[in-house]
Amino acid sequence: MYINGFFDENIFKSNQMRSEKLNPHVIGPGKEGHSENAHYKFIHEYRTKNIHDLDYTEYLKLHIYNPERNEEIEKLLKFERNSIQVEMLIYLKFWEADLIIKKLYQFTRAIHGEPYDWHFKIKESNRDSTVTGSRQEIIRLKIRDRLKEHSLPLHDHLKMCYNTQTRNSIAHSKYSFIGRNIHPNNYIKSDPSHQLRCLTFDQWVDMFNGTLVLYNEYIRLKGRVNDFYAAFKFVVNIPYLIHSAFSSPLLREIAKNHQLNQWLK
């Protein structure tokens, strides 16, 4: 999970023209990892430079109506709405990120005692046939719901933070602000997952900050894994199994080269 293993279909296809076959099960950041690094820089900038001096209870007192403070309150509301627009972007960067979804999915499989899924693939179009699922399906059904029996607090936290309708409303710019409320413009009477008519700013604060907590823990755990292996001052060989749809299980080894700070197969 930490170093991102995946099945490279281009290598698999090129092997048909090779006498000496290459292993299509590869490790490394790939496109997913490079994308994650780009988004990390943006999110990290926000989470380190946008901490309010007041606690939330004291902050809410600034919004209590007073005719003498009307102009000040309107400026505060405008700033809050603009801040939420940035937070919505960060919300999408987390819940749409391929590598974050993938690692949460693999983490859930590991808890259930299931092997690493080298063929994990997010559905990008209706033409995709061999996929793990759409983003919202994987998050709700293959991560959140499957975690319930092992960690109810984590399940509940995911349920509080991730909402399909809210995600769609943000992604398609189908929302408006009225007072300190977000109104999703994608309510669908016949769809149980799109019943939200209004999301207060206070509810948004819980959803967004809960998402940032998940992101902070995600980064922290990555750091702890890196520190664990960095403590070894020599090459560490770690055996692992490849469970593939195209062959019987294969036993391989991976090594951490500390001089190069790289994982090598």
pLDDT in tens, 59-74: 999 999 999 999 999 9
**What's this model's pTM, rounded to 2 decimal places?**
0.88
Tens of pLDDT along 121-179? Answer: 999 888 877 899 999 999 999 999 999 999 999 999 999 999 999 999 999 999 999 99
Q: Choose the weakest-confidence range: 3-12, 104-113, 192-201, 254-263.
A: 254-263
Q: Look at 243 and 61; give whichever has higher pLDDT.
A: 61
Give pLDDT, residue 3.
Answer: 79
Rounded to an integer, the average pLDDT of 201-208 is 96
Residue 259 in this model has a pLDDT that exceeds 70: no
Q: Give the pLDDT score at 235.
A: 63
**Sequence spans of domains, the chain:** 5-162+205-264
The predicted structure's pLDDT at residue 238: 74
Q: What is the model's pLDDT at position 127?
A: 81
State percent of the chain over pLDDT 70: 93
Instruction: Give the CA angle between residues 104, 119, 26 to the nearest 5°.
Output: 95
More confident residue, 217 or 13: 217
Of the two residues 90 and 240, the one the predictor is more confident about is: 90
pLDDT at 102 over 80: yes
pLDDT at 209: 96
More confident residue, 247 or 145: 145
Is pLDDT of 103 > 80?
Answer: yes
**pLDDT at residue 50 in the model:** 86
- pLDDT at residue 247 in the model: 66
pLDDT band at 52 (very low <50, low <70, confident <90, very high): confident
Q: Is residue 262 very low, low, confident or very high in pLDDT (cuts 50, 70, 90)?
A: low
